[in-house]
C-alpha cells in the first residue's frame, strides 16, 4: 500500500504537468498574454491541488483517527489484561484463603474428634475397670460365700460324723456294758 503523502505528491505533480502543458500550448498559440495564461493556469492548478488535497486530507484524517483508535484499543486491551490479571490474582488469593480456612477447620474438627475419642476411650476404660472391679468383688464374695458354705458344710458334716461316731461309741459302749454286765453277772 502506498503512503498517502506520496499519493498526494503524485497527484500534485500530475496537476502541475497538466497546467504546464496548458501553459506551453497557450504560448505556442500565442493567443493570449503570459500573465493571463498564468492566471488561467494557476487557478485550475490551485483547484486541482485543492481537489486532490481534500480526498487526501480526508483519507489522512481517517487514517489518523483509525490509528488513534487502534492505539486506544491497544491501551484498552492492555488495561483489560492488567485488570484481568489483578482479578485472577485476587481470585487466586481468595481461593487460597478459603482452602486455608477449610484446612484449619478440618484440623480443628480432627482435633475435636480425637479429643472426643480419647474421652470416650477413657470413659470406656473407666467403665471397664469399674465392671472388672464389680465382677472381682462379686467373684470374691461368691468365693467367700462358697468358702463359708463349704466350711459350714464341713463343720456340719464333722459335727454329724462326730455325733454319729459318738452315737456309735455310745451304742458300742452300751452294748459292751450289756455284754460285760451279762458276763459279770
Q: pLDDT digits over 79-122, tens only?
A: 999 999 999 999 999 999 999 999 999 999 999 999 999 999 99
Is pLDDT at 171 greater than 70 in this prediction?
Answer: yes
Decide if 129 is inside a domain.
no
Decide if 12 is inside a domain.
yes
Cell output for 86? 489483578
pLDDT value of residue 23: 46
CA pair distance 43, 23, nearest whole angstrom: 12
Is pLDDT at 20 greater than 80 in this prediction?
Answer: no
Neighbours of 89 (CB within 10 A): 10
- How far apart, in Å, are the Cα atoms of 117 and each of 5, 106, 108, 127, 149? 88, 16, 14, 15, 46
Is pLDDT at 36 greater than 60 in this prediction?
Answer: no
Q: pLDDT digits over 136-168, tens only?
A: 999 999 898 888 888 888 888 888 888 888 888
Q: Which residue has the higher pLDDT, 23 or 82?
A: 82
pLDDT value of residue 164: 85
Is pLDDT at 48 greater than 70 in this prediction?
Answer: no
Decide if 138 is inside a domain.
no
DSSP for 28-97, please give it.
Answer: HHT-S-HHHHHHHHHHHHHHHHHHHHHHHHHHHHHHHHHHHHHHHHHHHHHHHHHHHHHHHHHHHHHHHH
Decide if 53 is inside a domain.
yes
Mean pLDDT for 70-81 is 94
User: What pTM was estimated for this model as a whole?
Assistant: 0.37
CA pair distance 180, 185, nearest whole angstrom: 8
Decide if 78 is inside a domain.
yes
Residue 3 in 3-state DSSP? coil
Cell output for 185? 453277772
Total domains present in the chain: 1
Instruction: Give the domain range for residue 38.
Output: 4-103
Cell output for 50? 485543492
pLDDT > 70 in the chain, percent: 70
CA pair distance 185, 181, nearest whole angstrom: 6
Decide if 111 is inside a domain.
no
Asked if residue 11 lies in contact with residue 52, where contact means CB atoms within 8 angstroms, the answer is yes
Terminal CA-to-CA distance of the chain, rounded, Å? 178
Decide if 170 is inside a domain.
no
Amino acid at each position: 500500500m502506498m503512503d498517502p503523502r506520496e499519493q498526494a505528491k503524485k497527484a500534485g505533480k500530475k496537476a502541475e504537468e497538466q497546467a504546464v502543458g496548458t501553459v506551453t500550448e497557450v504560448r505556442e498559440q500565442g493567443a493570449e498574454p503570459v500573465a493571463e495564461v498564468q492566471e488561467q493556469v494557476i487557478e485550475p492548478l490551485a483547484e486541482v491541488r485543492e481537489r486532490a488535497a481534500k480526498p487526501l486530507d480526508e483519507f489522512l484524517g481517517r487514517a489518523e483517527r483509525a490509528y488513534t483508535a487502534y492505539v486506544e484499543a491497544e491501551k484498552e486491551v492492555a488495561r483489560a489484561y492488567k485488570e484481568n490479571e489483578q482479578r485472577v490474582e485476587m481470585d487466586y488469593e481468595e481461593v487460597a484463603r478459603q482452602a486455608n480456612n477449610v484446612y484449619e477447620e478440618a484440623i480443628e474438627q480432627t482435633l475435636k474428634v480425637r479429643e472426643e475419642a480419647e474421652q470416650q476411650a477413657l470413659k470406656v476404660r473407666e467403665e471397664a475397670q469399674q465392671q472388672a472391679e464389680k465382677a472381682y468383688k462379686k467373684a470374691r464374695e461368691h468365693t467367700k460365700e462358697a468358702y463359708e458354705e463349704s466350711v459350714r458344710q464341713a463343720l456340719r458334716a464333722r459335727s454329724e460324723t462326730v455325733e454319729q461316731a459318738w452315737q456309735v461309741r455310745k451304742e458300742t459302749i452300751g452294748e459292751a456294758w450289756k455284754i460285760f454286765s451279762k458276763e459279770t453277772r
